Amino acid sequence: MSYQKAKSFCISMNKLIIARKFDKTTNDQLRRASFSIMLNIAEGSSRFSNKDRRNFMVVARGSTFECAAILEYLSEISEISQTDFSTYSDNLEQISKMLFSLIQHLDKP
């Protein structure tokens, strides 16, 4: 479930980047951070030990915060609307909560 949400978010960020044509640094960071969420969930899912899985989920969750920071910046400099920012933030919050729950579950012996 979290992978599917992460993939949808990544696709929406790619569409946003193409449509808005932000500066090169912002494009690169947002694209990489949104890909990181999806790819770390995928790679973590392939690991055998809970410790390995957990580490990838922690990195994926960190990338949700990175995306949130970039989007907040874009909102504050009026590159995206407050409505779009809220929508993207809600999606990130859902993904982050799913990852947090999974991380807690993987911490249990």
* pLDDT digits 0-9 by tens, 52-86: 999 999 999 999 999 999 999 999 999 999 999 99
Mean pLDDT on 46-56: 90
C-alpha distances out from residue 31 to 11, 53, 73, 101, Å: 9, 23, 15, 25
Confidence of residue 106 (pLDDT cuts 50, 70, 90): confident
In this structure, whether the domain defined by 2-107 belongs to CATH 1.20.1440.60 is answered with yes
Listed by start position, the domains of the chain span 2-107
Does the global pTM surpass 0.85? yes
pLDDT at 47: 86
